[in-house]
Structure 1
């Protein structure tokens, strides 16, 4: 079929999803050309409404019940109140942060406006109280779940860097990651997401919210996991989640879709292709710059008299001077900085990255918590 014929056939099929055969459903889920046609030309009113709401607009009027992307829609900007006519086919580019949907706001800000930034960060579980316009502008953000600060641009978040190194884990992005598929019956929605292979807290949180784990796969690194997630969301784009998840902007709501979609997702189908994906160097560089200080347990480490230790951050119940004095009393050498002769860097769990932590990472110096330092020096008393 020519592209025009394919587009018309796809739209005709999706107007009557109950009549799709199993072969047609399989094509919708897996065929690259068919999926590209669906993304471009299938714009039911639910998808249009959800999309313009993400772009801080209200849908005033849709001229077609099953919009093929070229039927005009009337929208109103929530920032300035400007009413204008748009084509749904160009909304996907605006969701990527190329420009603001409202022409008045777009001209004033010369690109993506501050409200778009808020929406973009919210979709990654992050909040920005004083947003600045621009996809590449580094924003002073905070995690909406644990309030940990983070300085990052919207483009880098969209590229796949870790949003919050506390909630989303500080795992090495080159290590294995997992992609999960949940069903939320109460929300009538499915959700895809990423977690590292050593942390089940996110899975547990979704279960507490009423989610049922449908499938869980492991891929070689975070870049491959991001690719799988984007492929799944690309396939399910025409059927966005509505209702409670979007109304309350529940964390991760942009990775959800309506469970009435005529096609189903099988994560296992993506494993072979994911294994061939190469990791983006930006993911590794960001991890090295921003990850929380790694902390080992006492069972993994021992100290002996004469070892050099360095302290950073605040320890419990004592000042840093008192911690240093304790180390010296037990025959340890206290270093002011980390070098190749340092045996251990003592730091609070989840401490902010600093020069000492960076030096320990590059030199392979062990990092332990203040509590584990106390356990390690028991043998010296």
Structure 2
């Protein structure tokens, strides 16, 4: 049984290292916990062992105990299987959102409580406060690193038990604190993408789990332009990986994915980064999650992000009877992608969000209308 009041999720990165340092300097009783979320697949691409070694080194430097938990089965069941199912359905999921909800703020929190702790802490760039007994999730002060988008599925129970020590700091200050403390993680490269893919080619990785299904690439008028290996290897707005060279009678401009039809196994592409086939004004979502437990109103105005690090986009939100959202944007949105998350904000406060089901972009319009009328 740990005597620590707060368990810090030590990932082996600089952010969680400094989170632990800051809490210790505040006099907080802490211990570390390293989570293994992906079983080694033999590729040598996932750097879990290096991260584990760095986490142990940080705990030793701080003189705190460190615990270890293997959540790889929970990750597979709660995150990765969903990831595969969504890609097979032609959608583009966001596993980081699910990982936070299903692993880091569920199984990690449970493990911390089993160790006798009252709180957990992570290196996320986000903040919390409490207003009239309600816990709020706020953007990190460093807007370039703000990770509230990935945390929008948290609720009152998790926020009441969570600390984000680096949320008030810009990234350069975090690295400086790590350097001053002579942490091995001070100059460690930030992790990007998903651990279970690592530096591997995404298409090659996905092909291990989803068999290739060659099909046709056509333009919006139905003209055949080429072949693809599977629509699930592509996402809306994607430019690379199409293997479409110069097309006779067409200008020499880049091609972008503007539509995916799983039923016919057809990929639709068009020229122009702002092709009208990529633009939408409205979206429909699956039932939303509200951090406060309920929406602020049945209809309200706020801002939204449909992808990480996107600038705030003004919109009007209507909560539908099934709990899903109808969102009207003030300006056209590019490449809003089913399977990704739309996250809502009032100023710095994250209200919650939902998985995007469809938009009124031209090639999604039929599906959008069907959902709208059900």
Alignment TM-score > 0.5, same fold = no
RCO higher in structure (CA 8 A, sep ≥6): 2
TM-score (norm 1): 0.25
Structure 1 or 2: larger strand share? 2
Structure richer in helix, relative to its length: 1
